[in-house]
Amino acid sequence: MKPVFRGLLLVMLLLCIPSADARQNRARQADAQRPNIVFIMSDDHAAHAISAYGSKLIQTPHIDRLAKEGMKFENCFVTNSICTPSRAAILTGKYAHLNGVPVFNHIDSTQPQLQKYLQAAGYHTGMVGKWHLGGNDPKRPEEGKPAGFDYWNILPGQGAYFDPVMIENGQRKKLSGYTTDVITDLSIEFVKNRPQDKPFFLMYHHKAPHRNWQPAEKYRKQYENYEPPIPATFDDDYKGKSDAARQSTMHIDTDLNDNDTKGKPPAGLSGAALKRWKFKRYMQDYLACVQSLDDNIGRFLEFLDKSGLAQNTIVIYTSDQGFFLGEHNFYDKRFMYEESLRMPFLIRWPSRIKSGSVSKGMILNVDFAPLMLDAAGVKVPADMQGRSFLPLLSGQTPAGWRTSMYYRYYHPGHHNVAAHYGIRTHRYKLIFFNKLNQWELYDLQKDPQEMKNVYQDPAYAKVVEQLKAELLRQRKSLNDNDQFADALPQDDVG
Ligand code: CA
């Protein structure tokens, strides 16, 4: 090669090698493009108390914004319908038998978790509000302590509805105000105070509307004369069901107490009238708590708009599980029946999701961590049992996407709900109450309200056989070897 060409080549090569400054600038630009993630989760907020999900009980215009401007998932299910296990499944991407949280209140925080992966990938991470995975026991200060968060400010245990004590990076502080407002204020502060050169990940977790449903005065007044519509299955007599529904202690008529209704029933009420009065009081307070939640989420979304963050921030809204709002004479959750199994899941991501889209894809709480990691450009760890559903966000269903899901509830606990596990497909649900040795099968197409157990019906013999085979297959592939079937740690109120 002639010297003049060699020189030219060298100049061209040098032009191709970016300087350290250019490399840093490029890294900063890539960081600026990686989406921020806000994961908003409430506690015990049933999808059927959200108007975007067709609620007949309440209007939730602010939560609905996420459906209008993003995507609504119609088949999102919890793998164990109780608070603490669901939170652990969300953080680890694993079922209870592998993450070690089947019922109790502590997570082993040394295990890998979503926020740790995001932090390692350069995200500024925060956790504000209800944690409920331990770390508050002075005798065991390290156990369950939130790990992998640059900032955390959590309620101890269940936390209080008013003037809450909160633990900010390990320091206990007494705050004043209504807890739903306080958690929103602190979440906004976290975003305002973030470092500007990193994307952020915020878990913004409400306590509301957990039992015993204490609304702020403004919302209490709004609902004080509210008359809730009575659910179609309100007077379910459990005929044909296993013994579990009857044995449980989460019935509207017999188990809601004076603390729940904030006072004694009027003298002389009994039977059906008393049951309706209790239900009315329950719904008035529950919905008032939800209305405040909705207003606060609206306030947070408005903050994102005004601060110019809405465009590049993924916003998710969900609840740790579903909840019974009088269906089958129940409050609370735990059972694999629809109202408790179903989670709301709304997601807005303006650059990736078409406004007003709806997915019927079957997603689970163990999928949330894989999704968020995938969205952040982080490789999903092979030991997570959930799967990223990023393609579903643009309407693509990946090959082999699940058409059935495995569920397991472990311990009778606070509401004496018999242990059970089962399988749900798009059409059927098979439940095995393993300690009672009793089965239930529902044809959700013909009987969406789960009033007719068809397990013994010969017309469904083939379906039973297929579902049992699928149940065994899933238990095997998920490595559920009954690790917690008998020796369970102490329960907590969930
Ligand atoms: Ca909960």
Q: Looking at the structure, do residues 21 and 51 belong to the same domain, yes or no?
A: no
Q: How far, in Å, from the CA of 204 to the mean position of ligand 1?
A: 15
CATH number at 72 reads 3.40.720.10
Q: How far, in Å, from the CA of 43 to the mean position of ligand 1?
A: 4
Q: How far, in Å, from the CA of 494 to the mean position of ligand 1?
A: 6
Q: How far, in Å, from the CA of 159 to the mean position of ligand 1?
A: 13
Q: Looking at the structure, do residues 10 and 93 belong to the same domain, yes or no?
A: no
Mean pLDDT of 168-194: 97
User: For residue 134, what pLDDT is reported?
Assistant: 80
Q: How far, in Å, from the CA of 42 to the mean position of ligand 1?
A: 8
Q: How far, in Å, from the CA of 45 to the mean position of ligand 1?
A: 8
Q: Of the candidates 380, 404, 428, which is a domain's last residue?
A: 404
Model confidence at 374, in pLDDT bands (50, 70, 90)? very high
Q: How far, in Å, from the CA of 82 to the mean position of ligand 1?
A: 6
Q: What whole-number distance in Å separates Cα of residue 196 and Cα of residue 402?
A: 39
Tracing tokens 């809204």 back to the chain, one arrives at 317
CA distances from 248 to 44, 204, 417 (A): 18, 32, 5
State pTM to two decimals.
0.93
DSSP state of 177: S
Q: How far, in Å, from the CA of 323 to the mean position of ligand 1?
A: 8
Q: How far, in Å, from the CA of 413 to the mean position of ligand 1?
A: 14
User: For residue 13, what pLDDT is reported?
Assistant: 52
pLDDT(19) > 80: no
User: For residue 144, what pLDDT is reported?
Assistant: 63
User: For residue 475, what pLDDT is reported?
Assistant: 97
Q: Looking at the structure, do residues 29 and 115 belong to the same domain, yes or no?
A: no
Mean pLDDT of 342-370: 98
pLDDT in tens, 54-101: 999 999 999 999 999 999 999 999 999 999 999 999 999 999 999 999
Mean pLDDT of 1-15: 54
Does a structural domain hold residue 427?
A: no
Q: Looking at the structure, do residues 6 and 48 belong to the same domain, yes or no?
A: no
Q: Looking at the structure, do residues 15 and 157 belong to the same domain, yes or no?
A: no
Which of 8-17, 74-83, 331-340, 453-462 is predicted least confidently? Answer: 8-17
Does a structural domain hold residue 456?
A: no
Q: Note whether 339 and 46 are within 8 A (CB).
A: yes
Q: How far, in Å, from the CA of 4 to the mean position of ligand 1?
A: 74
Q: How far, in Å, from the CA of 321 to the mean position of ligand 1?
A: 6
Q: How far, in Å, from the CA of 342 to the mean position of ligand 1?
A: 12
Q: How far, in Å, from the CA of 85 to the mean position of ligand 1?
A: 9
Q: How far, in Å, from the CA of 367 to the mean position of ligand 1?
A: 18
Residue among 463, 391, 475 nearest 425 (CA):
463
Q: Of the candidates 404, 434, 462, which is a domain's last residue?
A: 404
Model confidence at 147, in pLDDT bands (50, 70, 90)? very high
Q: What whole-number distance in Å separates Cα of residue 96 and Cα of residue 378?
A: 24
Does a structural domain hold residue 227?
A: yes
The residue type found at 15 is L
User: For residue 5, what pLDDT is reported?
Assistant: 55
Q: How far, in Å, from the CA of 205 to the mean position of ligand 1?
A: 11
Number of folded domains in the chain? 2
Does a structural domain hold residue 466?
A: no
User: For residue 315, what pLDDT is reported?
Assistant: 99
Q: What residues are paired with 202 via a beta bridge? A: 38, 126
* 12 vs 112, residue with greater confidence: 112
User: For residue 8, what pLDDT is reported?
Assistant: 53
Q: Looking at the structure, do residues 97 and 185 belong to the same domain, yes or no?
A: yes
Q: How far, in Å, from the CA of 69 to the mean position of ligand 1?
A: 26
Q: What whole-number distance in Å separates Cα of residue 71 and Cα of residue 386?
A: 20
Q: How far, in Å, from the CA of 161 to the mean position of ligand 1?
A: 15
Q: How far, in Å, from the CA of 271 to the mean position of ligand 1?
A: 30
Q: How far, in Å, from the CA of 106 to the mean position of ligand 1?
A: 15
pLDDT(142) > 70: no
Q: How far, in Å, from the CA of 459 to the mean position of ligand 1?
A: 37
Q: How far, in Å, from the CA of 11 to the mean position of ligand 1?
A: 63
Q: How far, in Å, from the CA of 316 to the mean position of ligand 1?
A: 17
Model confidence at 157, in pLDDT bands (50, 70, 90)? confident
Q: How far, in Å, from the CA of 306 to the mean position of ligand 1?
A: 31
User: For residue 271, what pLDDT is reported?
Assistant: 97
Q: Looking at the structure, do residues 26 and 175 belong to the same domain, yes or no?
A: no
Q: How far, in Å, from the CA of 142 to the mean position of ligand 1?
A: 23
Buried b (16+ CB within 10 A) or exposed e, 104-143: bbbbebebbbbbbbbbebbbbbbbbbbbbbbbbeeeeeeb
Mean pLDDT of 158-171: 94
User: For residue 411, what pLDDT is reported?
Assistant: 86
* 36 vs 171, residue with greater confidence: 36
Q: Looking at the structure, do residues 278 and 198 belong to the same domain, yes or no?
A: yes
Q: Looking at the structure, do residues 2 and 95 belong to the same domain, yes or no?
A: no
Instruction: Name the token pair of 365.
Output: 């709480």
Average pLDDT, the chain: 92
Q: Are strands 345-348 and 313-319 parallel, antiparallel or unpaired?
A: antiparallel
Q: What is the largest CA-CA distance in the chain?
A: 108
Mean pLDDT of 267-281: 97
Q: How far, in Å, from the CA of 293 to the mean position of ligand 1?
A: 15
pLDDT(489) > 80: no
Mean pLDDT of 231-251: 98
Q: How far, in Å, from the CA of 270 to the mean position of ligand 1?
A: 30
Q: How far, in Å, from the CA of 372 to the mean position of ligand 1?
A: 21
Model confidence at 32, in pLDDT bands (50, 70, 90)? low
User: For residue 26, what pLDDT is reported?
Assistant: 56
Which of 10-14, 19-23, 304-308 is predicted least confidently? Answer: 10-14
Does a structural domain hold residue 445?
A: no
Which of 24-28, 78-82, 112-116, 127-131 is predicted least confidently? Answer: 24-28
Does a structural domain hold residue 359?
A: yes
Q: How far, in Å, from the CA of 210 to the mean position of ligand 1?
A: 7
User: For residue 471, what pLDDT is reported?
Assistant: 98
Mean pLDDT of 361-389: 98
Q: How far, in Å, from the CA of 377 to the mean position of ligand 1?
A: 30
Q: How far, in Å, from the CA of 13 to the mean position of ligand 1?
A: 59
Q: How far, in Å, from the CA of 493 to the mean position of ligand 1?
A: 10
Model confidence at 29, in pLDDT bands (50, 70, 90)? low
Q: How far, in Å, from the CA of 486 to the mean position of ligand 1?
A: 24
Q: Looking at the structure, do residues 76 and 17 belong to the same domain, yes or no?
A: no
Q: Of the candidates 404, 429, 459, which is a domain's last residue?
A: 404
Q: How far, in Å, from the CA of 86 to the mean position of ligand 1?
A: 8
Does a structural domain hold residue 482?
A: no
pLDDT(21) > 80: no
Overall residue count recorded for the chain in this entry: 494
Q: How far, in Å, from the CA of 320 to the mean position of ligand 1?
A: 5
Q: Which domain holds residue 323?
A: 35-404
Indicate the helix (H) or strand (E) that contains 155.
strand 151-155
pLDDT(3) > 90: no
User: For residue 413, what pLDDT is reported?
Assistant: 85
Q: Looking at the structure, do residues 196 and 270 belong to the same domain, yes or no?
A: yes
Buried b (16+ CB within 10 A) or exposed e, 182-202: bbbbbbbebbeebeeebbbbb
pLDDT(252) > 70: yes
Max mean pLDDT range (18-22, 32-36, 336-340): 336-340
The residue type found at 67 is A
Does a structural domain hold residue 425?
A: no
Which of 10-14, 160-164, 233-237 is predicted least confidently? Answer: 10-14
Q: Looking at the structure, do residues 61 and 125 belong to the same domain, yes or no?
A: yes
pLDDT(15) > 80: no
